[in-house]
Amino acid sequence: MKELFKLYDYRENVNLKKLCTFRIGGTGDIIYPRDIFELKKIVKICKKNKIKYIILGNGSNVLFPDGRLSCLIISLSKFNSIEIKKNKVYVGAGVNLFYLNKVLSEKNLSGLEFSFGIPGTMGGFVKMNGGGFGHEICEFIDKVKILKNGKIISKKRKKIAFSYRNSNIDGIILGCTLNLKYGENVAENMQKYFDRKLASQPYEEFSAGSVFKRNLDIIPAKIIDNMGLKGVKINGAEVSKKHAGFIVNNGNAKASDVKELIALIRQKTGFNFQLEIVDYTDCEVKNESGDTTS
């Protein structure tokens, strides 16, 4: 692959632990397009050479495999522009939510306070329809800029199906335009939301956020807590003692430990909870005997 991507910022055999907040994973190859032109060319090369790829934001909602990742990772971290035109704000997919909130608070732009403290980028947040405290990002979206089949398209919010921690966007999100309002005490309110998260979620440990999705009145964290599963461990993976909806990595957890713990939670609770984290453990290079590498 090195030869194919020699014109780009392409890095081989990177440690996947450094690319995700779970700090779990083996190795993989990553490419950082500098702009849309490079991104288009990279996608074209992938298509021509049948190279599968995944898009990565800040890796705060993913579980990588323990061995070698079979897909190329495309990072949009360089798509980090913010353009403010009164209350309409264009945010590049690679913009980190902490930074975005800082910029918005300086302009007294209100709406996204609930997202302060979520360790993702705008691309991942839109794709996952992230939210909290009764809000979801889709409420504030005017349109999303997407690269699909080699073309850049702009999709209005009402043309996108957003659901709980999901969207049906199937292209690469380049950025989105938000509709915000001018407000007061924006920075203070952001901090209040973040303080509530810090008090209830294990920010001091490695995790990928809530492992399971809520489904109407079925709240996995409550059920897991009621079953007394907080603190249950498989090797380095543990049901957080602070928030039963999180699995934390004590430092040496493997993806296989997390997967086993997920299976155990489902078995003990009797619920086949749907995953909120994006599971890439199936995208692992297999050797000739069909075993996975590690």
Would you tell me which residues interact with ligand FAD (CB under 6 A)? 21, 54-62, 76, 93, 118-121, 123-125, 127-128, 130-132, 172-173, 201, 203, 207-209, 278
Nearest CB to ligand FAD, comparing residues 131 and 220: 131
Nearest CB to ligand FAD, comparing residues 24 and 265: 24
Nearest CB to ligand FAD, comparing residues 110 and 115: 115
Residue type, 46: C
For the bound state, the minimum distance from the C-beta of residue 131 to ligand FAD, rounded and expressed in Å, comes to 5
Q: Which of 24, 29, 32, 36 is nearest to 7 (CA)?
A: 32
For the bound state, the minimum distance from the C-beta of residue 19 to ligand FAD, rounded and expressed in Å, comes to 8
Q: Which of 256, 250, 247, 253 is nearest to 284 (CA)?
A: 256
Nearest CB to ligand FAD, comparing residues 201 and 281: 201
Task: Identify the helix (H) or strand (E) that includes residue 163.
Answer: strand 162-163
Nearest CB to ligand FAD, comparing residues 124 and 236: 124
For the bound state, the minimum distance from the C-beta of residue 86 to ligand FAD, rounded and expressed in Å, comes to 25
Burial status of residue 136 (CB atoms within 10 A of its CB: 0-12, 13-18, 19 or more) = buried
Q: Which of 251, 257, 246, 262 is nearest to 294 (CA)?
A: 257
Radius of gyration for the alpha carbons in the chain, expressed in angstroms and rounded: 19
Query: CA-to-CA distance for 173 and 43, rounded, in angstroms?
Result: 13
Other CB atoms within 10 Å distance of the CB of residue 118? 26
Query: CA-to-CA distance for 12 and 73, rounded, in angstroms?
Result: 10
For the bound state, the minimum distance from the C-beta of residue 270 to ligand FAD, rounded and expressed in Å, comes to 26
For the bound state, the minimum distance from the C-beta of residue 59 to ligand FAD, rounded and expressed in Å, comes to 5
For the bound state, the minimum distance from the C-beta of residue 205 to ligand FAD, rounded and expressed in Å, comes to 8
Nearest CB to ligand FAD, comparing residues 54 and 275: 54
